[in-house]
Structure formats: structure tokens, C-alpha cells
Amino acid sequence: MQKVLPALVALRTRLRPVDGSNWRATGFAVLLLIALPTLVYKALSTRFGFTGPWFDLDFVLAYVLMLLGARIGNIWLIRLGFLAIIASFSVQVLVGIGVIYLVDPVLVADYLAFASYWPWGTILKWAVLGLGAMFLVYLLVRPVRLDRARIWPVLLVTLVVVGAEKLGSSNERRNALSINVATSGALSLYHLGQAWINYQGFRAEPVDFPAMQQRVLDLPAAQRPARILSLSVEALGLFKDPAANAVVFAPLERAVGQVYTVEMGRHPFKGATLSGELRELCGLRTLGTPGKESIVRIGPNCLPAQLRKQGYQTIGLHGNTGYFYNRVQIYPGIGFDETMFGDDFHRHNPGVTVCEDNTFVGTCDGTVVEAALEFLSARHKAMAHVMTLQSHFPLGVSSLGDDRCGAIAGVTDPDLCLYANTMSNLLARLGKQIAEAPVPPDVVYIYGDHAPPFAMVDKREAFERGQVPFIVLTRKSGPTVP
């Protein structure tokens, strides 16, 4: 920072002699108002792994607006044009990142429902950095004689670029969210608004592989295990490197090896956390968060509801609030007799241990799994489902692990090492807890909800992007049957 600020001051000083040349003023204006935000956007898209245009038409319109404002002496037109650049840039970045994290940007409404639980510290940090960068650009633009900059060269280039793209495109309507040479932040926002208005709500279709629901229900009733534990592990993915996977899963296998046989598998995934739960609990590929009508429609076929018909008692547990993904309604709706969320743990025991060193503060996973095991051991026929919390992204150094490398040969990225250390320790702890339970569950299903959602594309590329682990632990002594 000590070197950057003097360099910006020097650049700003060099801009002052622009008065004598229309072409020089044009060059600086194009550089600061069109080229610079475009290059920053492309740098972000490359680093974070989303796609977007090389040529934003909004920047051109804002450029024209600012130059016209300068020629007629209207400072408000200049400011309006600069704000339009910021707005278009922000829309393109948010839509790009939204496609990474939300699968479909239209689902932003679902995520707004629990905005009070977002990691606002991280969000505000990046927002402040972004606004600071825009302010620096504004300071650089101020000395430029925009009234002397030319408009027609930029319009000519725009016509050439748009014309070339039109000649190379099909007759089908262009999608502003796809990879285009030229597009518009305003057009992206318009198409997003259209999709939002026409959003059909929650959608679900059966998966085309044997999810946990099918595996359990396909067993004859007389062979069905009496005590079933479902464990959905937040952001548990699969490295592309088998050696790295061995580092993550070997501690679990060692922890449970005396009590359980271990079957390692993998399942396709699509969507975020709730989609991962409904994939295994209900055998559904879903998009969005179900409301009351959708819950009534899908609930009866879900595993907890089916087991409940056969005399099983069921419980769903999560260490954070039940309002995340509307679990407070979904869990009972798909067949859980009882639910326990973070608030319930604290209400029943105000002194319960709270894990505060992860992104979302809540009841520690060990405490939640302990409650699930107690529920199972106290009942002859029961199912418990746990959605973990402590491995939620973004990860940080915590009681579960640090970012020291060495366990995985050839991996030196601290973020990947932090992930591997966190997951291996979490699985080892939970495995030990399950194996040492007074009454161990007869069968345990452990699976990832989705791949690790790293912001940087190079880190995401270290993982299988379409599959997550699906692990089955079966008691060696033979499952207890009803």
C-alpha cells in the first residue's frame, strides 16, 4: 500500500497536462472509464471462475453521458455516468458470483430469507474494498478534460464489435449471462428480472441413482436396520487426487474400523446444502426451497415419513437456526417427529458448548451428534438425521484444523490444506463418537451436501465438481432388526 498510493498520486499528476490534446484526453478517458473496469472485471472473473463479457455496452453509454455532461457543463450528468459504470460493474460481478454459489441467480430471494444469519463481516470487508477502489478511480478521472475527449471513436469501435458479434451469432435470442464478447449489465439485470418474475418456484424430480432413501426402503422390512443415522456433512467433497482423499477419509476408517465395515462411494450432486439433504432423504434433485404446498407434495415419499409409517421414531437435528432453508417447516413436513436446532439446544441447556470459531456460530457438531445417538439408543426403532455446521465455508483456522501443509504429498496451497485438515479431523471425531456410543447405530450414512464452494477457480478445480462422497458404515456384529 505504501508503494501504491504514491504511484496513484504520480499518475494523477501526469493527467493534468491533458488540456492540450483531444486525442490524449480521449485516451485517458477510455482507459479509466472503459478499459480499466473491463480489465478489473476480467481479472475477477478469471480469479473467481465466473464468465462474462469483454465489452460492456453500459460502460460506453456512461462514457458518452459523462462526455456530454462535461461539454454542457452539467456536473450531475458526469456523476450519473460514473455511478452507471459502478452499477453495471457491480451487477456483472454479482450475477457472475451468484451463478457459482446460488446455482441459479433467481434463487437469491430464498437466500434473502435468512440474510440476518449471513457472515456480514466478510461481506462488508469486500464491499469497503470495492468502494475504496471506485473512489480511487474517481480521483483519477477528475483531472481529465472530458469536454475535450472524443465520442465518435468509441461509438465506431462499439459498432464494429456489436456488428461482428451479430454476424457470428445464431438466430436464437442471446443470453446476457452466457459468454459474449459484448453485453450489458443493464441487459443482464433485465433478463434476471424476467427470470425472477417467471420463476416457477421450488422444483423437484427423482434422482436416477440409488440415494439413501431408496437404499433403505428397498430392503425387506424384516432386514431393515433398527437404528439408522444420516449424517450430511457440510461442504464435504472429493479431491480429484486419490492420495488427498485418503488423507481426508483414512482417519474416519481408523476410528470406526473395529465396529463397522466401511463402504466408500460417490453420488452425483447439484445445488446447495438443502438440495444435498433432500437428495438423500427424499431421493429428489431439487431447485429452490420448498414452501408449504411443496412440502406437502414431496413429504410423504421421503425416508423419515416412510419409516414413521413402519413404527420408527424420527428426529432431525442441526446446530444452527431452523430458519436456514426453512428447515423448521421442512423437517416435520418430510417425516421427522422431532427436531432440534441451535436455539433448542440452548433452551434445554443454557450452558451447552457453542462453537464460535467457524463462520456460523452455533452448537458444536459433536454435541448435535451426541443428541442424535442418545435419541437412537433410547428407542427400539429410530432414525436420526444430522446436518453438520462447523465445516461451513468460508473456512478459517479453528479447533478442527489449521492450514499447515504436509499431510498431502505435493499439496502446498494453505486453503486446500486447511480444508483437508478440517475435514479429516471432523470425520475422525464424529467417527470415534459413533463407534464408542453405548448403543452404536446399526447403519450410518455419511455424505457431502455439495462440493467445497471455494471462491477461487483454481481451488475449485482440485475437486470433483459433479460428485460428493457417499459412505455407508454397517455394524460388523450385524445390524439389529426390528
> What would the pLDDT profile of 179-220 be if each residue is shown by its tens digit?
355 667 777 777 777 777 777 778 999 999 999 999 999 999
Q: What are 469's strand-pairing partners?
A: 266
Cell numbers of 246, please?
A: 485418503
pLDDT of the residue at 89: 84
Question: Within 10 Å of residue 440's Cβ, how many Cβ atoms?
Answer: 23
- For residue 13, pLDDT over 60 is answered with no
Cell numbers of 128, please?
A: 469497503
| Residue 411 pLDDT grade (very low, low, confident, very high; cuts 50, 70, 90) | confident
- For residue 395, pLDDT over 70 is answered with yes
DSSP string, 268-309: E--SSHHHHHHHHHH-EEEES---HHHHHHHGGGSHHHHHHH
Helix, strand and coil in the chain, % to nearest 5: 55, 15, 35
Sign of the dihedral through C-alpha 107, 193, 129, 60: positive
pLDDT of the residue at 143: 84
- For residue 440, is the peptide bond before it cis, meaning its omega torsion is within 30 degrees of 0? no
pLDDT of the residue at 197: 72
Those residues whose C-beta lies under 8 Å from the C-beta of residue 424, and which sit 6 or more positions away, are: 247, 248, 249, 250, 251, 252, 401, 407
3-state secondary structure 154-201: HHHHHHHHHHHHHHCCCCCCCCCCCCCCEECHHHHHHHHHHHHHCCCC
| Residue 447 pLDDT grade (very low, low, confident, very high; cuts 50, 70, 90) | very high
Cell numbers of 133, please?
A: 477502489
Cα radius of gyration rounded to whole Å, the chain: 27
| Residue 394 pLDDT grade (very low, low, confident, very high; cuts 50, 70, 90) | confident
The SS3 of residue 409 is: coil
| Least confident among 30-34, 107-111, 463-467 | 107-111
What is the C-alpha separation between 460 and 292, in angstroms, rounded? 35
- The angle at the Cα of 122, spanning 120 to 123, to the nearest 5 degrees, equals 60
319-342 average pLDDT score: 93
pLDDT digits (tens, 9 = 90+) for 255-297: 999 999 999 999 999 988 999 999 999 999 998 889 899 999 9
Those residues whose C-beta lies under 8 Å from the C-beta of residue 428, and which sit 6 or more positions away, are: 251, 252, 254, 255
125-129 average pLDDT score: 77
What mean pLDDT value characterizes the chain? 84
| Residue 168 pLDDT grade (very low, low, confident, very high; cuts 50, 70, 90) | low
* Cβ–Cβ < 8 Å for 189, 93: no
* DSSP state letter for 456: S
DSSP string, 336-363: -SEEE-HHHHHHH-TT--EE-SSSS-EE
| Residue 87 pLDDT grade (very low, low, confident, very high; cuts 50, 70, 90) | confident
Percent of the chain with pLDDT over 70: 82
- For residue 14, pLDDT over 60 is answered with no
What is the C-alpha separation between 271 and 257, in angstroms, rounded? 32
| Residue 17 pLDDT grade (very low, low, confident, very high; cuts 50, 70, 90) | very low
pLDDT of the residue at 107: 62
9-27 average pLDDT score: 62
The most confident of 15-19, 107-111, 129-133, 227-231, by mean pLDDT: 227-231
Cell numbers of 148, please?
A: 475535450
The SS3 of residue 9 is: helix
* Cβ–Cβ < 8 Å for 442, 379: no
What single letter denotes the amino acid at residue 194?
A: Q
* DSSP state letter for 219: S
